[in-house]
Amino acid sequence: MIPIEHSPTLTRWCIAGCEAMMTEMYADVGEFHLAVCRRFGDAVQSADGKWDRLSPCASWDARAVVEHVIGFHDVLLLRPLGLKPERPRDDPQRRWELTFHALHDALGREGLFERVVQVPAVGTNQATTLDARKLVPSLTRDVLVHTWDLARAVGADDRLDPGWCAVFVNDLPAEPTALSASGMFAAPVAVDDGADVQSKLLARLGRDPSWRGE
């Protein structure tokens, strides 16, 4: 079972600067999220036949990364909006395609970003209410970094759009260990001051940019 977490505290860290920078590139945060999801879809296609490859996420293989991304969309956005895609049990690529179609439907709903999302209790997490305008950017960041996880796992193109990376690097909490203290990220990894923006984002989110599978 791939853990699905939700945290209002973590969600607020992806708000203030994120939305302004996102809307410089896209009409709204929904379009930005779909663009990043399409990039994740590229990695999913590259993973076909390589689902057992180890990923940079400890104990997760490529399939587990995809299932995690599907899972947090289900729990935090799709199910609360009444969307339950009928997916095959054992076809990760098709499972993601159907998830993307559902997200396209959800994020295109009129008034979504003027409402709250009622997130149900999951595991030890109590039910909570999240502002959709704040929730979606936090999911976008996670999809972006998991795109790298998956692409690196299967030896695909793992270069992320530097503009996208900059959106999230510029909105990270000032305290370097704030994210790892939540228990949802590994400790930050040291990188050179001159590292590119993708490496800086990965490192702050607990990834070693130089990681390579066996």
- The secondary structure of residue 162, as a DSSP letter, is H
CA 160 to chain centre: 13
- Secondary structure of residue 118 in the 3-state scheme: strand
For 99-119, what is each residue's pLDDT tens digit? 999 999 999 999 999 999 999
Short-list 7, 29, 35, 27, CA closest to 17 = 29
- Stretch 143-156: mean pLDDT: 98
Place of tokens 């729990």: 75
pLDDT of residue 13: 43
Mention every residue, 6+ apart, whose C-beta is less than 8 A from residue 49: none
Superfamily of domain 14-205: dinb family like domain (1.20.120.450)
For 159-176, what is each residue's pLDDT tens digit? 999 999 999 999 888 787
Lowest-confidence pick of 3-7, 73-77, 184-188: 3-7
For 12-32, what is each residue's pLDDT tens digit? 444 444 555 555 555 689 999
Lowest-confidence pick of 45-49, 174-178, 193-197, 202-206: 174-178
Phi and psi, residue 125, nearest 5°: -85, 130
Does the structure show a pLDDT above 50 at 82? yes
- Rg, C-alpha atoms of the chain: 16
Question: Rounded to an integer, what distance in angstroms lies between the CA atom of residue 155 and that of residue 148?
Answer: 10
The full set of domain ranges for the chain reads: 14-205
Joined tokens for residue 100 = 């993307």
* Higher per-residue confidence, 49 vs 120: 49
Short-list 163, 72, 190, CA closest to 206 = 190
Does the structure show a pLDDT above 50 at 6? no
112-to-28, 77, 116, 173 alpha-carbon distances in Å: 11, 11, 8, 27
